[in-house]
Structure 1
Amino acid sequence: MKIIAVIPARYEASRFPGKLMQILGEKTVIATTYQNVAETGLFDEVFVATDSEIIFKEVQQIGGNAVMTGQHETGSDRIAEAVHDLDCDIVINVQGDEPFLKKEPLKQLIEVFQDDGNREIALASLKIRLHETEEIQSPNNVKVVTDQQGFALYFSRSIIPFHREKSIDAEYFKHIGVYAFRKEALLKFANLELTPLEKLEKIECLRYLENGMKIKMIETDFVGVGIDVPEDLEKARGILNTYKS
């Protein structure tokens, strides 16, 4: 089973343009993410897929692998173009703005497919429990609810589930935008039209659900920072300083 990691990276992010080229410590965000993924040793190859000459040159400058793609609405569409002609079985999509992703959750995603002898699972992703009210309420944190087998029922920027029955403790989970695909499922996704809920919420994994595809969610205790807005960059810098101290 050949396993590769692809980091989709576009320069013009709507909420924080140029965020992947911001400095985090002594390196850019995209360089930090790439090197952290490569250093896990889990992958046969690691690529950055981008439509930006700036990001392409940055990855090459640190000795990394980068491929140029066309413009796409989602990271999954970009990755599908990048891997279309590659010989691989499993593709891990690591977001370029998740610089502190560790080895263990990536290993957990790979094990989903290693344990799936009947090849029933097409896609897996990560979730982490939320505790702070501010995090639960933030539309920048995509929340996910699952069925009793751990498959995603819905993703939303709103608070889900709604806590109406106060005698029951509510559990909230944040979706971490790291996906593991069988290659054929990824290529199928790229041939599907954008769906109504995907357009409404701006959450690409809703396209899978709206087309009847199952997403296996793996709970992790990984704590990092997805850099969506400038405030997140400051949080990431604080985490980096903690590592150094």
Structure 2
Amino acid sequence: MKTVLLIPARYASTRYPGKPLARLRQPDGTTKTLIRMTWEAARSVTGIDAIYVATDDDRIRAEAESFGAEVVTTSESCENGTARCADALAQAGIAADLVVNLQGDAPLTPPWFVEALVTAMKADPDAAVATPVLRCDALTYGHFVEDRRNGRVGGTTVVFDTRSDALYFSKEVVPFLPDSVLAGGGPIPVFHHVGVYAYRPAALAAYAGWEAGALETLEGLEQLRFLENGVKIRCVEVDARGRAFWELNNPADVARIEAVLEPT
């Protein structure tokens, strides 16, 4: 099975324009761009046959090529990362049995998150789309609550059924937690959706032919297009193994990620 990893990256982010080129301080005091950190994270994943940065922006292309990444030029009309992956596959004629979308804003993604997705897809030929989910610890749950309290759209949460197929994704914190649950000290029953996907090429091609639905438009979450069109998304629970995980969604997240990078 040939597995290709794509890193969709756009300059014109509504919440954070130029986000892929944002520079983050490294433990040695130097800085690296977000797109470079994500590409380096991708290179640490085993079982990947090829890695491409997919972008429509010349500034991102130049930065990616400066550190040796292969770049696929995509249409300016791609409205999200999944659409950009579908366009990259079609434009470049990339042959693959499985396509991984590692969003360009998640440099803290551990390699085993992606490897777990590939394993799950290989184990179930009927699974069309899969994505990792991570049970929130107190720190991550606190970030979610803080963002919503301050009117920021931060990470995404997900609820899923007994077969681990997604029921819904939201930028709100779901499910609602009564104070008694939080005071109980047990595991927090909120799952952070990690912005990585694995698709069968047929699912990507179908996605490109659908219009955005009402839920996707309201939430601003591309994966809801699959659910609105009856395609199941398999949620693969992963273990952070003590590592902190957070995406760069807003400028405020730069400090959060830099804090994780600091040596202990």
Name the TM-score class by shorter chain.
over 0.9
Name the amino acid aligned to 1:159: V
Mapped pair 1:107 → 2:115: yes
Where structure 1 has 5 or more consecutive residues not aligned to the other structure, the ranges are none
Three-state SS of the structure 2 residue aligned to 1:188 is: helix
Name the amino acid aligned to 1:122: A
Indicate if the aligned counterparts of 1:130 and 1:136 stay in contact, CA closer than 8 A: no
Indicate if the aligned counterparts of 1:33 and 1:98 stay in contact, CA closer than 8 A: yes
Instruction: Say what the alpha-carbon RMSD is for the aligned residues.
Output: 1.8
2: CA distance, partners of 1:200 / 1:113: 29
Indicate if the aligned counterparts of 1:91 and 1:183 stay in contact, CA closer than 8 A: yes
Name the amino acid aligned to 1:201: E
Where structure 2 has 5 or more consecutive residues not aligned to the other structure, the ranges are none
| Deviation readout 1:89-124 (Å, 9 max, x if unpaired) | 1000001010121211111000012212xx210000
Name the amino acid aligned to 1:58: E
Aligned length: 241
> Which residues in structure 2 correspond to 1:131-146 (within 5 Å)?
131-132=137-138, 133-137=141-145, 138=148, 139-146=153-160
2: CA distance, partners of 1:39 / 1:107: 10
Mapped pair 1:151 → 2:159: no
Query: Share of identical aligned residues, percent?
Result: 34
How far off is 1:165 after superposition? 9.7
Name the amino acid aligned to 1:96: G
> Which residues in structure 2 correspond to 1:8-87 (within 5 Å)?
8-24=8-24, 25=26, 26-71=31-76, 72-84=78-90, 85-87=93-95
Q: TM-score, normalised by structure 1?
A: 0.92
2: CA distance, partners of 1:60 / 1:21: 13
1: CA distance, partners of 2:47 / 2:32: 23
Indicate if the aligned counterparts of 1:7 and 1:96 stay in contact, CA closer than 8 A: yes
| Deviation readout 1:64-84 (Å, 9 max, x if unpaired) | 101111121110001101012
Question: Using a 3 Å threshold, how does the CA distance of structure 1 residues 122 and 239 change in structure 2: closer, same or farther?
Answer: same
Structure 1 runs of 4+ off > 6 angstroms? 167-170
2: CA distance, partners of 1:95 / 1:86: 18
2: CA distance, partners of 1:235 / 1:103: 20
How far off is 1:63 after superposition? 0.9
Question: Which residue pairs with 1:231 in the alignment?
Answer: 252
Mapped pair 1:196 → 2:214: yes
Three-state SS of the structure 2 residue aligned to 1:230 is: coil
**Which has the larger displacement, 42-51 or 232-241?**
232-241
